[in-house]
Amino acid sequence: MRILALKTLKDFWDDYPDSTEALKAWYALAKKADWKSPAEVKETYGNASVLQEGRVVFNIAGNKYRLIVWINYPYRVMYVRFVGTHKQYDKINAQEI
């Protein structure tokens, strides 16, 4: 998968250093993935929440943080839409961000 907005992840782990290793591990695995459907995402990340229209929420660092991506499955492109704490996540609409 091609992942756009790596800077968003880097900015977050600069602010929350305890997320660095978990986000880097997620990035490495997602970059190597070739997900063709939400079901394939769930095979890799069983605790991921698949939303409508290509959005997926990943639990990061033992569910301490949330990561929302939009996946364009036909083109194998993933766009980082949000990364934050649970408190920050509770203030957004995951389907619209």
Q: pLDDT per residue over 2-58, tens digit each? A: 999 899 999 999 999 999 999 999 999 999 999 999 999 999 999 999 999 999 999
- Distance from C-alpha of 60 to C-alpha of 24, rounded to nearest angstrom: 10
Sequence length of the chain is 97
For position 57, what pLDDT does the model report?
97
For position 97, what pLDDT does the model report?
86
Token duo for residue 62 = 């033992």
Dihedral sign computed on CA atoms, order 72, 75, 81, 83:
positive
For position 37, what pLDDT does the model report?
96
Mean of the pLDDT values across residues 57-70? 95
- Distance from C-alpha of 44 to C-alpha of 33, rounded to nearest angstrom: 9
58 burial type by CB count under 10 A (0-12 exposed, 13-18 middle, 19+ buried): buried
For position 16, what pLDDT does the model report?
96
For position 79, what pLDDT does the model report?
97
Residue where the block lists tokens 């998968």:
1
- Distance from C-alpha of 3 to C-alpha of 76, rounded to nearest angstrom: 9
